[in-house]
Amino acid sequence: MTLEQRVDRMNAAIHEHAAAHAAEIADHFAVDGPLQRELLRRDVHSAGEVLPVPPALLPREAVERLRSCHEALRRALDFVFDGRLEGSWGRLADALRLEPPTRRYVEGARRPRWLTIARPDVVLAGDDFTIVEPNAGSSCGVLADADVQARAFLEAPVIGDFLRALDARPPDNVAVLAAHLRKRLSDAGLTADLVVVTEFADDLGDYGGTFEVLAAELRRHGLRATVAAVEDLEGGRDGVALAGERCGIVYRLAAEEPDPERNHPLLAPILEAGRAGTVVIADELEDAIAANKTILAVLSEELDAGRLPADLAGVLRGFLPWTRVLEDTRTTVDGGDVDLVQWVVADRERLVLKPGAGFCGRGVLIGCEVGDGEWAAAVDEALTSSEAWIVQRTAMSAPTTSSIVRDGVLRSERTFVDYGYFAIGDQVPTGVIRKNAPFGTPTRRVKLAGTGPVFVV
């Protein structure tokens, strides 16, 4: 059996157990029940009818494999930066096809710190986890929500007993994050200890609950933490302050996307303080930019050309999918030389198209789920876009069982899922989440769908 099949069998067991106690589970996880009311009140991600019930399981060997792959990924990024890119941020910016507004955020006085706080998205297919997005920096979403959801499952009837009998390990993301932030403060020699979780005011209005959950979980682990809009911070070379109080850490959820031109005046004073060492930015925006999606194309080219060290190539060959920046050029596919655009148009069913700096699933198109005309039109539009788009070999996973509680009933279906693992400093993974496609719509495009914690067995 492949790892994917063994994971599916493991999860089938917990779903069978849930089905045998469906009425009790449905009653406990009903939207009008006390647990769901609390999750919804706190605006925990994927609360309500999209919360996967029961949670997903992974064997310890799968988590160890993710740890090995992540280490190889970071080492390969360093190798390519020092080699092909000659240690130059300018060459890296060119390789990433960064547009001028985004380049303004890059100072380039130090080498990139790859994936210091990140949540790479991966697909389990056969015996391989395949990375589909690095999700560095501000894309590290639902980190605290996974911890809250995991506690809710451990406290739930039926499911909690099942998990404890397996000695299943829940995620512990925020504990590791809190330790990482304390070390960053200590290393910086700063006396101010206020941690400010920041986002732009408009986004706080739309998604503020998620940030409040993170701040509350940081406080639970002993940090002084609060949420503030970027617009409410006073920043400059001498530091960053909120309502007159000096901040020790800006936990940066605010990014240059989607409007780097408009966002720069707001973020520049904070970035200046971080570079001057008068505040800790966790983590730095230029590090996130260095690891946007187009970096996978750079790594894929090096892997295909045989330029990565053998030990790294051996690990990354299953983890790193064939990826290229979409442009009018020739490239190698499976050892052969092809016209990239012609080949992409012809090989739709094995490919995914996406913007290199996209977020929240913007623009993602999966070739096997669209027709030839829609695919060709999207390729043409991407070629004329001012931003870089990438094309990637699809990780073809098999469907697995997913369940939710809807209308007071536990409902199950076979659908597609992918995973995200959290990397914080040198600890990987501190936790894993699994995302399932919207219930009733079995698609490989699982972005913005139900998300829940993974327990490690």
Contact at 8 Å (CB) between 437 and 416?
Answer: yes
Asked whether residue 374 falls in the same domain as residue 410, the answer is no
In this predicted structure, what is the pLDDT of residue 233? 97
Residue pair 421/406 in contact by the 8 Å Cβ criterion: no
**Mean pLDDT value across residues 421-428:** 93
Whether residue 139 has pLDDT greater than 80: no
- Do 156 and 214 share a domain, yes or no? no
Residues 409 and 376 in one domain: no
When divided into structural domains, the chain yields a total of 3
Residues 378 and 444 occupy one common structural domain: no
Sign of CA dihedral 416, 136, 66, 170: negative
Domain presence at residue 374 = yes
Burial of 61 (0-12, 13-18, 19+ CB in 10 A): exposed
Domain annotation covers residue 99: no
Q: What is the reported pLDDT for 15? A: 97
Residue 411 sits in the same domain as residue 386: no
Q: Are residues 275 and 355 in the same domain?
A: no
Q: Tell which residue, 266, 281, 288, 254, has the closest CA to residue 357.
A: 288
Is 155 found in the same domain as 232?
A: no
Return the exposure string of 317-336: e unless at least 16 CB atoms fall within 10 Å of the residue's CB, then b: ebbbbbbbbbeeeebeeeee
Q: What is the mean pLDDT of residues 235-241?
A: 95
Judge whether 362 lies within some domain.
yes
Sign for the pseudo-dihedral over CA of 188, 191, 196, 198: negative
Q: Which of 44-58, 306-320, 321-335 has the lowest mean pLDDT?
A: 44-58
102 lies in some domain: no
Query: Which residue among 394, 416, 448 closes a domain?
Result: 394
What's the whole-model pTM score?
Answer: 0.95
**Are 226 and 336 in a shared domain?**
no
Give yes or no for residue 24 having a pLDDT over 80.
yes
Express each pLDDT in 249-303 by its tens digit.
999 888 998 899 999 999 999 999 999 999 999 989 999 999 999 999 999 999 9
| Shared-domain flag, residues 201 and 268 | yes
Which domain, by its residues, includes 235?
173-290
Last residue of a domain, one of 238, 271, 290: 290
Residue 95 lies in a domain: no
CA-closest candidate to residue 256, choices 226, 298, 219, 289? 289
Q: Please report whether residue 225 resides in a domain.
A: yes
- Of 290, 314, 349, the residue at which a domain comes to its end is 290
Residues 347 and 422 in one domain: no
Residues 243 and 157 in one domain: no
pLDDT tens, residue by residue, 321-365:
999 999 999 999 999 999 999 999 999 999 999 998 766 667 799
